[in-house]
A and B are shown apart, each in its own frame.
Chain A
Amino acid sequence: MARSIKVSLIGNPNTGKTSLFNRLTGLNQKVGNYPGITVEKKEGICKLDRGIKAHILDLPGTYSLNTTSLDESVVIETLLDRTSKDFPDVAVVVSDVENLKRNLLLFTQIKDLEIPTILVINMADRMKRKAISLDIKQLEEDLKTKVVLVSSRKNMGVEELKKAITDFKSLDIEPCVNASVIDPVYFERLRKAYPNQLLYKLWLVITQDVNFGKIDRNRDLTDLKTTSFEIKSEADLKRLQHKETVVRYQFINGLLKKALSIDTATAKDLRSRLDRILLHKIWGYLIFFTVLLVIFQAIYDWSGYPMDFIDESFASLSSWLSNKLPAGPIADLLSEGIIPGLGGIVIFIPQIAFLFLFISILEESGYMSRVVFLMDHLMKKFGLSGKSVVPLVSGTACAIPAVMATRNIEDWKERLITILVVPFTTCSARLPVYLIIVGLVIPEGSILGGLLSYQALTLMLLYLLGFATAILGAWVLNKILPINRKSFFVMEMPAYKLPILKNVLYTVLEKTKSFVFGAGKIIMAISVILWVLASYGLGEQYTNAEQIVTEKYESENLSEKDLNQKIASHKLEYSFIGYIGKGIEPVVAPLGYDWKIGIAIVSSFAAREVFVGTLATIYSVESDGEDELTIKNRMKEEVNPILGGPLFNFASGISLLLFYAFAMQCMSTLAIVKRETNSWKWPAIQFVAMTVIAYASALAAFQILK
């Protein structure tokens, strides 16, 4: 008989919860969002014995059930609402053998909700090296549940865990700590007021609002506010929460005295030795800087080859199609609209994959926390937190996950400032624009004996410019925003771990996929619209283009090929897009651009990466489809209509680079900022300010350099 069991995977951050999830589900997983919020929802299916399937939900990492952030509130919501479709049949709490004491706090809270709960002690392979011994029997007795030793890294104990999940009905659901001792009178009254509800659940619902206001407390306690029931002040509730934590720790300390022993003499660890170097007052910063340098050089150099290959493949596919297919609007749409548009998406895959590769290695290894530690003091001066470094660094991949990554910043002002300045960091959507422009206008050659090319150096400077602007912006915002800072900051320094290849690859695969399909849709839609606008027009100049051009050049004796080229250009100029472009031209001409770049910039306001695709579409409509030119070569041939000479020269190139460095050209980021700040005010300010800065600096650069 096929049956399915709903399992929630819960645990502190850095306990290897995600590796265990990957072990259990393999590639059988999907990532979505919780309805209405942006927290990632990871689900997967694991096959158990006797044809039973386990639906596994990987909940966000949390230290306790006392909510202070959106991620944590997801965990609570899932565990409190018995009617929800995600409510688990069995909860699996993942702990790390080296941090068992702290991990058990969350376990005791979940156990008090009377949900069948299995305790997984992960990283069991480290026990021998760390001279840790555990009395599992004692643990099972006092915690009143099944305890499973697992190593998700070495694939140990996973089968035993699956068996425990299958047999979840035999688990004891009795709580192991009595939380009501913190204020017996109050809890007794609470019990009398709601005799049908679980006491500890009531307590959690009441305390939600103390630290985090968004939960819907009316769902289960419809009349909590209207009854004569005594409402405690916020300060009192906070004090009680502290007391509850103390009570739980007393229980845990007592238990672990009996069940855990660590031979401290042999527990000399790698962490402190590595920390001594990586957090060194000079070496620490040098190492961090070197790591950044290596990442940028690698992204520029390594992704260049697959990118050139993709660029050329799409160019030849396009011309092959237009030769093979019968001529007509469908062939044109494919070879001039859809294929170049698709190429504009696929070409980013190598860089995005590399970026996420590095970021996930830095996070998995535990090094990211060290960077936060090194940077906090400096960042604090600019109104940011050391934890802003993670969003700022992951902002180099994409501002959207970066804005979401600000959630663990405790202080609202520091968090808001981070959200507002993150879009200045060089996201991967800017990268293709940078790469193509840098390749065109920055000369080849290198410094440091060939170690660092001028082009890589320019790229590095652009990244630094992004960071510097973000930090400067933060400093200004810190001065002008009238919000008080509490300056709370707590960060775990996890043990160093060798990143697990499988986890890193899953992250890379999943992020790249979501980029291709998310951004891909926008890019495709825009390319089709652009193609239509560029391929059709009204008026005499458009419909009689062939005649007008032929007459104009009659005396010059042009070859047929050149003549066709002239006709195509003429048509494009008088197509719909030509009219729109000419309208924009006066605005962008002072920056050194022609109307085609103007169109590319305007369409980039949907998403920056559209820039290259737009130019590709415009140019391929313009060319008669026979030449198989790559986008880059085509750009080289463009001539500035006003000043003459190459359109993409040093001055206009720098001007474009600056424009893309500063402008807020990403609708998805604006939407996320709206969601995370809960108002349109902040994204509106962000959009206007960034665009003004972009225009002004691009204008200044072109006028000075030309």
Chain B
Amino acid sequence: MSITIAHLKRGESAIILHFNEIDVPLKLLEMGCLPGNEVTVMQSAPFQDPIYLNINGTHLAIRRETAQKISVERYG
């Protein structure tokens, strides 16, 4: 079973694998959330929602629901 961004702990990095287009707003892609790019969890708010990410050098926040739809692969 693959993991998603929502599984990552604070400070952990991973590579974005894939997601379904209808689950992810285009704006997120425009900000660099694309397969192959690196994602790091910077911080999360209480209840792990929203989650503060660094994707490809861009700092942004998304909701947990969206994070659960983006599958990733941990480094190493």
Q: Name A residues whose Cβ lies closer than 8 Å to a Cβ of B.
A: 63-64, 66, 68, 98-99, 101-102, 105, 211, 235, 238-239, 241-242, 245-246, 249, 271-272, 275-276, 279, 281, 369, 372-374, 376-377, 380, 386, 410, 487-495
B72 CB-CB contact with A under 8 Å: no
The answer to whether B59 touches A377, judged by C-beta atoms less than 8 angstroms apart, is no
| Given A377-B50, A489-B63, 20 additional A-B pairs, CB 8 A | A102-B56, A238-B22, A238-B26, A242-B29, A245-B26, A249-B32, A373-B50, A374-B45, A376-B63, A377-B45, A377-B47, A386-B50, A487-B66, A488-B25, A490-B25, A490-B31, A490-B61, A491-B62, A492-B58, A493-B59
Q: How far is the CB of A238 from chain B (nearest CB, A)?
A: 6
List residues of chain A with CB within 8 A of the CB of B57: 98-99, 101-102
The answer to whether B50 touches A275, judged by C-beta atoms less than 8 angstroms apart, is no
Q: How far is the CB of A191 from chain B (nearest CB, A)?
A: 24
Query: Provided the pairs A275-B42, A376-B45, A377-B47 are in contact, do residues A487 and B65 lie with their beta carbons within 8 angstroms?
Result: yes
The answer to whether A373 touches B59, judged by C-beta atoms less than 8 angstroms apart, is no
Q: How many Å lie between the Cα of A433 and that of B56 in the bound state?
A: 50
The answer to whether A101 touches B26, judged by C-beta atoms less than 8 angstroms apart, is no
List residues of chain A with CB within 8 A of the CB of B62: 489-491
Q: Which bracket fits the contact residues of B?
A: 20 to 34
Query: Provided the pairs A410-B25, A493-B61 are in contact, do residues A102 and B47 lie with their beta carbons within 8 angstroms?
Result: no
The answer to whether B47 touches A242, judged by C-beta atoms less than 8 angstroms apart, is no
The answer to whether A68 touches B21, judged by C-beta atoms less than 8 angstroms apart, is no
Q: How many Å lie between the Cα of A487 and that of B42 in the bound state?
A: 22
Report which of B26, B31, B34, B49 forms a contact with A492, defined as CB distance below 8 A: B31
Query: Provided the pairs A102-B58, A492-B58 are in contact, do residues A279 and B30 lie with their beta carbons within 8 angstroms?
Result: no
Mark interface residues in B14-55 (1 if CB within 8 Å of A CB, else 0). 000000011001111111101100000011011101101000
The answer to whether A272 touches B30, judged by C-beta atoms less than 8 angstroms apart, is no
Report which of A66, A276, A279 forms a contact with B45, defined as CB distance below 8 A: A279
The answer to whether A491 touches B26, judged by C-beta atoms less than 8 angstroms apart, is no
Report which of A63, A386, A489 forms a contact with B31, defined as CB distance below 8 A: A63
The answer to whether B25 touches A102, judged by C-beta atoms less than 8 angstroms apart, is no
The answer to whether A101 touches B50, judged by C-beta atoms less than 8 angstroms apart, is no
Q: How many Å lie between the Cα of A270 and that of B61 in the bound state?
A: 18
Q: How many Å lie between the Cα of A249 and that of B62 in the bound state?
A: 20
B60 CB-CB contact with A under 8 Å: yes
Report which of A68, A271, A386 forms a contact with B26, defined as CB distance below 8 A: A68
Q: How many Å lie between the Cα of A249 and that of B26 in the bound state?
A: 13
List residues of chain B with CB within 8 A of the CB of A281: 45-46
Q: Which of A105, A239, A376 has the most CB of B within 10 A?
A: A376
Q: How many Å lie between the Cα of A199 and that of B2 in the bound state?
A: 40
Q: How many Å lie between the Cα of A66 and that of B34 in the bound state?
A: 17
